[in-house]
């Protein structure tokens, strides 16, 4: 793994998903085969394969503090910050650098709502910050896990370097038990997603579902004869099934495709 410490120029960016997004790292050691974030290579000059390099924005917290103060001075109200859009904020290097932890602490201290999205149980480390009340108020922080399948063999094909499904579900359970709002992001929806809802019932507050939107992993579908799980019909049927399962379990569910 090529690890480079860098000085970033800014840390909070506008996002289409939430008002803001914060990425403490460029690149992601989990290197999921379908990952759309590999487009970052174009902007950062990286020529190495996706998943084999990580740039560490060592000045992330310092920048964030400055940007939060500047936004407040300009009369901007706190709005949801997505951590993260193009890297996993709790990938292994976070255990050493603690950049996500520092940024999370700052955002919650300044009363900014946070939406964490990860595949890593390392997020459990930060339960102390997320459950700490500020001025008698619980922080507005939701913790979500991306889990696209309940089938560990499929997970290994598409996400060979990411934590196991069981570890993610166990982490969700611990976080939910700590009184923190949790969600599961069933995206990209992969074969075996049909069995996920029973596994997360009672430990998530809501569910998001999205299909496989990019073609980076098409060769995996072809090699393993999984093409029937890459069709509009499969996504439609499975999206509806998950939606129905959620309805029966009383879990709010948003499906982001027709
Ligand atoms: S964990 Fe997320 S950001 Fe990292 S490689 Fe996988 S899909 Fe991409």
Atom in ligand 1 nearest the alpha carbon of residue 34 = 7
Contacting residues for 102 by C-beta, under 8 A, at least 6 apart: 60, 61
* Dist. CA 33 → ligand 1 center (Å): 9
Q: What is the mean pLDDT of residues 10-39?
A: 95
- Beta bridge partners of residue 4, listed in sequence order: 55
Length of the chain: 258
31 vs 160: CA distance, rounded Å: 8
Residue 7 confidence class, pLDDT cut points 50, 70, 90: very high
Does the pLDDT of residue 135 top 80, yes or no? no
Residue 157 confidence class, pLDDT cut points 50, 70, 90: very high
Does the pLDDT of residue 62 top 90, yes or no? yes
Q: What is the mean pLDDT of residues 111-118?
A: 97
DSSP secondary structure letter of residue 88: -
Gyration radius from the chain CA atoms: 18
Beta strands in the chain (DSSP E): 2-6, 12-14, 20-22, 25-26, 53-57, 81-83, 114-118, 141-146, 181-186, 206-209, 253-255
Q: What is the mean pLDDT of residues 57-86?
A: 97
Does the pLDDT of residue 44 top 90, yes or no? no
As given in the structure block, the two tokens for residue 32 are 């999921």
174 vs 190: CA distance, rounded Å: 25
> 35: Cβ below 6 Å to ligand 1?
yes
> 189: Cβ below 6 Å to ligand 1?
no
Q: What is the pLDDT of residue 52?
A: 96
Task: Indicate the average pLDDT of the chain.
Answer: 96
> 37: Cβ below 6 Å to ligand 1?
yes
* Dist. CA 74 → ligand 1 center (Å): 34
> 185: Cβ below 6 Å to ligand 1?
no
Model pTM?
A: 0.96
Q: Could you give phi then psi for residue 31, rounded to 5 degrees? A: 50, 40
Residue 137 confidence class, pLDDT cut points 50, 70, 90: confident
Contacting residues for 50 by C-beta, under 8 A, at least 6 apart: 27, 28, 31, 35, 37, 38, 41
DSSP secondary structure letter of residue 3: E
* Dist. CA 38 → ligand 1 center (Å): 9
* Dist. CA 69 → ligand 1 center (Å): 30
- Determine which of 82-91, 124-133, 147-156 has the lowest per-residue pLDDT on average: 124-133
The string of pLDDT tens digits covering residues 164-180 is 999 999 999 999 999 99
Residue 136 confidence class, pLDDT cut points 50, 70, 90: confident
């Amino acid at each position: 793994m090529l690890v480079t410490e860098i000085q970033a120029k800014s840390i909070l960016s506008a996002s289409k998903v939430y008002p803001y997004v914060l990425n403490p790292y460029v690149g992601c050691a989990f290197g999921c085969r379908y990952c759309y974030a590999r487009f970052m290579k174009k902007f950062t000059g990286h020529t190495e394969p996706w998943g084999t390099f990580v740039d560490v924005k060592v000045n992330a917290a310092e920048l964030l503090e400055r940007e939060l103060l500047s936004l407040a001075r300009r009369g901007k109200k706190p709005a949801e910050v997505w951590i993260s859009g193009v890297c996993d904020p709790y990938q292994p290097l976070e255990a050493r650098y603690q950049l996500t932890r520092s940024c999370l602490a700052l955002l919650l201290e300044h009363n900014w709502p946070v939406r964490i999205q990860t595949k890593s149980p390392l997020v459990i480390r930060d339960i102390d910050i997320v459950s700490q009340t500020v001025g008698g108020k619980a922080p507005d922080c939701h913790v979500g896990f991306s889990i696209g399948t309940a089938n560990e063999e499929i997970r290994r094909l598409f996400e060979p370097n990411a934590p196991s499904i069981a570890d993610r579900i166990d982490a969700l359970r611990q976080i939910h038990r700590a009184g923190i709002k949790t969600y599961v992001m069933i995206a990209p929806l992969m074969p075996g997603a049909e069995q996920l809802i029973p596994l997360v019932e009672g430990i998530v507050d809501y569910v998001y579902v999205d299909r496989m939107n990019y073609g980076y992993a098409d060769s995996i579908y072809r090699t393993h004869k999984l093409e029937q799980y890459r069709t509009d019909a499969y996504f439609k049927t499975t999206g509806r099934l998950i939606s129905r399962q959620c309805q029966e379990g009383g879990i709010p569910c948003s499906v982001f495709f027709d």
